[in-house]
Structure 1
Amino acid sequence: MALQPYIYLASMISGLSYEGVQGLLGLIHTPGTISTALPPPRSTLLASFNMPYKPNIKSSALTHGARALAKHIYRSSNKFWGSLDGNDFNKNRLAVDVVNRLIEHCSWLNVHFVAPHGFLFEIRVANGYGARWMEDGKPYMQDGHSKGWIH
């Protein structure tokens, strides 16, 4: 009796080490890489990216992702990030488009230690642009946990 292909695939994957699974997923290894880490699910990354940046301020609809984009958009002389114009809704929409493009075209993924920020999940596209989250997929925020930020 022939086995289903998913059984063969499950058998192959279960025989891999963490490093093997990381390689299969495209994670790279650097001196700061967490050897047993796997990337957070895309759904976790997008959910945290779309969390309100200032949830306690009624008039603010800006997301964590749009806030991060606003901080970095002017660092690109070739307009890689696009143009951040308009209201919070427009900024949020551009940010989602950008992060989806980064995720779809990333050529470099790593879960690693970056001083002084700690352990991060980071993605990069071929020309070096990218995004980062805390290692568990929460929005990256310098000193966020010491400031009482929780997911």
Structure 2
Amino acid sequence: MLRDDGDENEDDTEPLTINQVLLSVSSASYATQLAVILHSWLETGTNPLLPTSDESSIEGVTPEFSSRQRILKLSIDVFQSFVAEIESDDEKAALMATISLVDELGGARGILTLLGFQQTIGSRNLAPLTLHQCLEAFMQRHTPDEPLTVGARAFSKHCARSSSGWWGEMKGNDAAKNARAESKVKELLASSTWKNIHSLPHAHATMEVRNGLGYGARWDAETQTFRGFLEPPMTNGHEIKWRH
């Protein structure tokens, strides 16, 4: 179920950390991220999900904890047995051990949880977009004859909404606007403390990321298109046009 951009986005200069897996959209492949989580679990004997909060930080979203609780109950023996089979020369045994481990984790839902994706009412067990796919969708041209990207056009709608100036200013030519918008979406992806793949009313499944302040962005998880930026949840947001 996991998407892979190939080797082009793998960066071996610095080791991938647990926080980069759980609290960002990393450039590493999801297979690599999963390996980092499992390796840490084996090396430390501590479930990597333990330090993370058991509460959803997004107002108005109903959290589900069944996947997280299932994984927290797993014994380290499960992973030690898995590694023993994988390191053997028996390919059939290794395959069966992998299938068994995925089943113990709770299937696709468990893998998403280990990768830091939230489980909420409406969550979908779909492959998350890679960092490369998120950025590629963001940087598509809004119209074929204009250099302005779909991401920059969406970004321009949000700059005036935050009284704190969190979004920053949107000025300059199209190239400057594109660069400013790209910088902001990369900032969000690198600090996404909340990640989810869920259904919206009358829409495809959506991959949504938010930072600790509640600012975020969405992509269509099925068509791999950028949907727009998000303001922090607020009462009567639509009525006040999300100005805060």
Fold in common (TM above 0.5): yes
Q: Which amino acid aligns with 2:150?
A: H
- What are the residue-to-residue correspondences of 1:127-142 with 2, within 5 Å? 127-136=213-222, 137-140=224-227
Q: Which consecutive segments of 4 or more residues in structure 1 shift more than 3 A? A: 8-12
| Distance (Å, rounded) in 1 between the aligned partners of 2:133 and 2:154 | 17
Structure 2: gaps (5+ residues): 1-34, 40-78, 84-97, 229-244
- What are the residue-to-residue correspondences of 1:2-151 with 2, within 5 Å? 14=98, 15-16=101-102, 17-34=107-124, 36-55=125-144, 57=145, 60-136=146-222, 137-140=224-227
TM-score (norm 2): 0.50
Deviation at 1:139, TM superposition (A): 2.1
TM-score (norm 1): 0.78
For the aligned residue pairs, the C-alpha RMSD in angstroms reads: 2.2
| Distance (Å, rounded) in 1 between the aligned partners of 2:202 and 2:158 | 19
SS at match of 1:73: coil
SS at match of 2:225: coil
SS at match of 1:72: coil
| Distance (Å, rounded) in 1 between the aligned partners of 2:161 and 2:180 | 16
Q: Which amino acid aligns with 1:103?
A: L
Larger Rg: 2
SS at match of 1:75: coil
| Distance (Å, rounded) in 1 between the aligned partners of 2:170 and 2:151 | 12
Structure 1: gaps (5+ residues): 1-5, 142-151
| Distance (Å, rounded) in 2 between the aligned partners of 1:80 and 1:18 | 35
Deviation at 1:21, TM superposition (A): 1.1
Q: Is the Cα contact below 8 Å between 2:217 and 2:227 reproduced in 1?
A: no
| Distance (Å, rounded) in 2 between the aligned partners of 1:80 and 1:20 | 34
Q: Which amino acid aligns with 2:160?
A: Y
Higher relative contact order (CA 8 A, sep 6+): 1
- Count, aligned residues: 131
The share of aligned pairs that are identical, in percent, is: 32
